[in-house]
Amino acid sequence: MKVLFMTNVKEEEKEITKKTIDSSALLTYYSELDDEEKNKALQTAEIIVGGRLTDEHLATVKDLKFHQILGTGLNRHKLSFYKENNIMLCNNHSHAPIIAEHGFSLLNAATKELDRNDKLLREGSWDYRKFQSVTLFDKTMLFLGYGEIAKQFKKMCEPFNMKYLAIKRSKDSTVEDVEFFTVEEKLEAIKQADFIFNSLPGTTKTENFLDQKEFAAMKSSAIIVNVGRGITINAEAMFNALKDKKIKAAAIDVWYNYPQRRGSDEQEPVPCYPSDFPFQELDNIIMSAHRAWNTDFPRRYFLDAVIPNINRFIRGEELKNMVNLDEEY
């Protein structure tokens, strides 16, 4: 079966792949091909690993049956194409621990007022009373969605004797120390929360999951962390809640406006602010440029999860992390 790697793969990773992938797999690496070879490889690939298929790519593929992406997010993938052409799509949750870790760091930065206290001392001021820290101990944590990232985040919170709430589509969970609420009950949960951790995917159903009425229900001391997708929180509602001090703070890694290209030397346009609302002018938000994934976390852990799934497909076995194309995640 022809397998095309659209992601860049290091030599040592290629060796791991050769040793662990099904022997019937014929491997091709997109980055090693010239333009004519790339076009042919796309036409004949039965499995594609990594990458985002552009409209040009989608017009070229002919034999594609399965696309295994390396990340979780699906907003840049044309899901209707997969559905119309009966192409299986799987995402990958290997990076859940590092996304959760970044989220936990954001929570600590916001609760400890690290940015503002850092600025004070850089100005020579030792006014340690001006921006008091909020402890994590004995607080109520609300999870918006309870997938792999939220579960990893909860592990990091466990030393702090927190109460855990979670909003998900159904209450069919066996987690004993988490109280679950349905979407219809979300205001009841939001009213109780000291901290809100959002890891929701961006779908038609989750867009504006937090809007004006949800912010109105929050405690004035509430702190929001978002590592899910920007569109799940209404930008105007969050901006106004922060500006008017209706909530205490937010720490955000995912946004609304993105440059066409990212990177210090490649960014277009410059500057590119992450929203039409001037969050950068507020003093009660920690802003992170969608960089939770950018760590020294070894990429081989991604391959450790992806290669077995490719083998499952080749052998006709049940796949893991199959995307529900109707639900968009």
Say yes or no: 309 and 189 in one domain: no
* Cα–Cα dist 210/239, whole Å: 12
pLDDT surpassing 90 at residue 33: yes
pLDDT band at 301 (very low <50, low <70, confident <90, very high): confident
Say yes or no: 13 and 137 in one domain: no
Say yes or no: 103 and 124 in one domain: yes
Model pLDDT for residues 206-221, shown as the tens digit of each residue: 999 999 999 999 999 9
Cis upstream peptide for 271 (omega within 30°): yes
Say yes or no: 242 and 309 in one domain: no
CATH number of domain containing 88: 3.40.50.720
Contacts of 322 (CB under 8 A, 6+ apart): 88, 89, 90
pLDDT surpassing 80 at residue 272: yes
77 within some domain: yes
Check residue 69 and give left, alpha or beta (phi > 0: left; psi -120 to 50: alpha): beta
- Expressed as residue numbers, the domain containing 69 is 2-94+297-314
Say yes or no: 279 and 136 in one domain: yes
243 within some domain: yes
Structure tokens at 153: 């985040």
pLDDT surpassing 90 at residue 149: yes
210 within some domain: yes
Say yes or no: 30 and 101 in one domain: no
Average pLDDT, whole number, for the chain?
95
182 within some domain: yes
Q: Are 192 and 64 contacting, i.e. CB atoms less than 8 angstroms apart?
A: no
Burial class of 16 by CB neighbour count within 10 A (0 to 12, 13 to 18, 19+): middle
222 φ, ψ (degrees, to nearest 5) = -70, 145
pLDDT surpassing 80 at residue 264: no
321 within some domain: no
Say yes or no: 161 and 240 in one domain: yes
CB atoms within 10 A of CB 160: 12
146 within some domain: yes
Model pLDDT for residues 48-102, shown as the tens digit of each residue: 999 999 999 999 999 999 999 998 889 889 999 999 999 999 999 999 999 999 9
Q: pLDDT at position 172, please?
A: 74
What is the domain count for the chain?
A: 2
Say yes or no: 217 and 232 in one domain: yes
Say yes or no: 160 and 270 in one domain: yes
Model pLDDT for residues 153-205, shown as the tens digit of each residue: 999 999 999 999 999 988 877 888 999 999 999 999 999 999 999 999 999 99
Say yes or no: 166 and 234 in one domain: yes
- The mean per-residue pLDDT over the stretch 295-323 comes to 92
* Cα–Cα dist 293/299, whole Å: 11
Q: pLDDT at position 174, please?
A: 80
Q: Which of 26-35, 93-102, 211-220, 298-307 has the lowest mean pLDDT?
A: 298-307
13 φ, ψ (degrees, to nearest 5) = -70, -35
Say yes or no: 119 and 240 in one domain: yes
Say yes or no: 220 and 75 in one domain: no
319 within some domain: no
70 within some domain: yes
